[in-house]
Amino acid sequence: DAGVIQSPRHEVTEMGQEVTLRCKPISGHDYLFWYRQTMMRGLELLIYFNNNVPIDDSGMPEDRFSAKMPNASFSTLKIQPSEPRDSAVYFCASKLAGGNSPLHFGNGTRLTVT
């Protein structure tokens, strides 16, 4: 099993540009999560999906952020337009159903917006 795969690993873009982050969850997992990590705020949950359906997007900072999961093996997080304060490491994670099933994280995308 390759684990959760995220791309790109690093993204540098200019303010105002559109950014798309990609995630391939572990096959067979029921849930997919998008987190953002900064030194100041730690790991923050942005949105999560259950069986490809968005369940809770209350953590999405503002309308500039959107996430989709068109099928069980692919999800995207899009920021349009990007701003310097969006600079962070974005993690995707997946899990099986059940409260005692842990999260499996990808290695993240480090986003820098200049």
Partner 1 sequence: SQKIEQNSEALNIQEGKTATLTCNYTNYSPAYLQWYRQDPGRGPVFLLLIRENEKEKRKERLKVTFDTTLKQSLFHITASQPADSATYLCALSNQAGTALIFGKGTTLSVSS
Contact residues toward partner 1 (CB under 8 A) are: 4, 31, 33, 35, 41-43, 45, 48, 50, 55-56, 91, 93, 95, 98-108
User: Given the complex with partner 1, which of 51 and 80 has the nearer CB atom?
Assistant: 51
Q: Residue 71 CB, nearest distance to partner 1 (Å)?
A: 20
User: Given the complex with partner 1, which of 35 and 65 has the nearer CB atom?
Assistant: 35
Q: From CA 53, how far away is CA 49, in angstroms rounded? A: 5
Residue 47 near residue 67, CB atoms below 8 Å: yes
User: Given the complex with partner 1, which of 64 and 103 has the nearer CB atom?
Assistant: 103
Q: Residue 43 CB, nearest distance to partner 1 (Å)?
A: 4
Q: From CA 4, how far away is CA 94, in angstroms rounded? A: 7
β pairing state of 109-113 and 10-13: parallel
Residue 50 near residue 70, CB atoms below 8 Å: no
DSSP, collapsed to helix, strand or coil, labels residue 78 as: strand
Q: Residue 54 CB, nearest distance to partner 1 (Å)?
A: 12
